[in-house]
Amino acid sequence: MQSTELYKKALDGGFLSVEEGEFLFAQAPLTELMYIADQMRAQRVAHGKVTWIIDRNLNTTNVCIANCKFCNFYRIPGHAEAYITDLETYRRKIEETFRYGGDQLLLQGGHHPELGLAYYTNLFRELKKMFPDLKLHTLGPPEVAHICKLEQKSPKEVLTALKEAGMDSMPGPGAEILVDRVRRLISKGKCGSQEWLDIMHEAHKLGLTTSATMMFGHVETIQERMEHLVKIREVQAKKPVGAKGFIAFIPWTFQDVDTLLARIRGVHNLTTAEEYVRMIALSRIMLPNVNNIQASWLTVGKETAQLCLHAGANDFGSIMIEENVVSAAGAPHRFTAKGIQAAIREAGFEPQLRNQQYEFRRMPEAIEEQVINY
Ligand code: SF4
């Protein structure tokens, strides 16, 4: 196998195999991977720009029965700190999000054993009644699978009802690594890999735009990372004509602070900045049919994320006015609207505000700058 042949195949839009991805991960100089990924980025998106979004991650509930071993966010049913977010809190936090220039909630939560389909459809309708311009980027395949199980309904039935109630798009949480050996070790209470992929395909058939993610740097092998990328690419390849399908791919690193995986199994995130940039470049190279690759500044920090913008990534994600899940496992980084734009400029690009569909937005004229308390 020759790197140069694989680079040509990638630049021509070809699908590299798992073995070819593994070969490049192990053998290719990082500078070459960055160069090829940057070329592929230029073929697909406006090259001088880096997009970003203002939104807020809000959680419906922290009650969860999935018991993922990397999660410090959830509480078991009946726990003193268990909550379900009430409408007044939504109202207050959404108003604040609009004041900060955002127009979207990324709304997710745990697998609550008593919150079924009617709970979510009522909630979405209430939120849209209060804030008709609000976009709901909400739930994810594991939560949809959980609702399907509670209701004994198919993903198509559940997603159709959620969409009718106001779901605008679906993020891609709970993918971790889409290989069941890994999922059995770290998140066996969640849907399996095929179910995750099937729910995404169903969403694409219903015209819902979604994102895909990967959480790596724990118990997976390099081969399993490449299998993950290939599976996502295959689902994207069968999206209906005209559907956007996976609009973005977001790889991030396992945050290990105080997690069961770290405490009981001794699994720590040993991913270096070099390895993260390598994975960003390989994500671009392995996923020629996904337009946007996002660098996760939240987990790797500003400097590494800036480097990723020269390695195939074209999006800096959200300023995350609020984020409670990844932060609970140690992700320490924060951005304001001004800070994220300055970081993009510092990396040599023009910042471009976007919406969830990756359409460019004008900066709202008067927005409050959020205050970050460390
Ligand atoms: S990651 Fe999500 S599904 Fe897993 S335990 Fe935490 S809240 Fe539950």
Residue 110 Cα, ligand 1 centroid: separation in angstroms? 5
Domain contains 116: yes
pLDDT at 312 over 50: yes
Position 356 scores a pLDDT of 92
Q: Which residue has the tokens 């909550």?
A: 83
Q: Which domain holds residue 84?
A: 3-353
pLDDT value, residue 329: 67
pLDDT tens digit sequence for 282-309: 999 999 999 999 998 888 999 999 999 9
- Pairing, β 56-59 against β 246-253: unpaired
210 in any annotated domain = yes
The answer to whether position 359 is within a domain reads no
Q: What average pLDDT does the segment 74-91 reach?
A: 96
In a domain, residue 362? The reply is no
For the chain, the distance separating the N- and C-terminal CA atoms, rounded to the nearest angstrom, is 49
Which has the closest alpha carbon to 208: 138, 152, 277, 271? Answer: 138
pLDDT of 127-179, one tens digit each? 999 999 999 999 999 999 999 999 999 999 999 999 999 999 999 999 999 99
Amino acid letter, 194:
Q
- 360: in domain: no
Question: Is 128 buried (19+), middle (13-18) or exposed (0-12) by CB count in 10 A?
Answer: middle
Share of the chain above pLDDT 70, in %: 96
Distance of CA 184 to the CA centre of its chain: 21
Nearest to 282 by CA among 185, 346, 202, 214: 214
Closest CA to 20 of 9, 30, 11: 9
Which atom of ligand 1 is nearest to 64's Cα? Answer: 8
Measured in Å, residue 213 CA sits from the centre of ligand 1 at 15
| Residue count (the chain) | 374
Separation of alpha carbons 258 and 328, rounded Å? 9
Number of domains in the chain: 1
* Strands of 209-216's sheet in order across: 56-59, 104-108, 135-138, 169-170, 209-216, 246-253, 292-293
Q: What is the DSSP letter of 328?
A: G
pTM for the full predicted model: 0.94
**Ligand 1 binding residues, C-beta < 6 A:** 64, 66-68, 71, 73-74, 110-111, 142, 187, 190
Calculate the alpha carbon distances from 66 to 69, 142, 187 in Å: 9, 9, 7
pLDDT at 374 over 50: no
Neighbours of 106 (CB within 10 A): 24
Q: Assign residue 288 the CATH number of its domain.
A: 3.20.20.70
Nearest CA owner, ligand 1 atom 4: 68
Q: Which among 146, 103, 111, 160 is positioned nearest to 127, based on CA atoms?
A: 103
Residue 127 lies in a domain: yes
Report how far residue 320's alpha carbon sits from residue 324's, in angstroms, rounded to the nearest whole number. Answer: 10
Ligand 1 nearest-atom number relative to CA 109: 7
Q: Is 88 contained in some domain?
A: yes
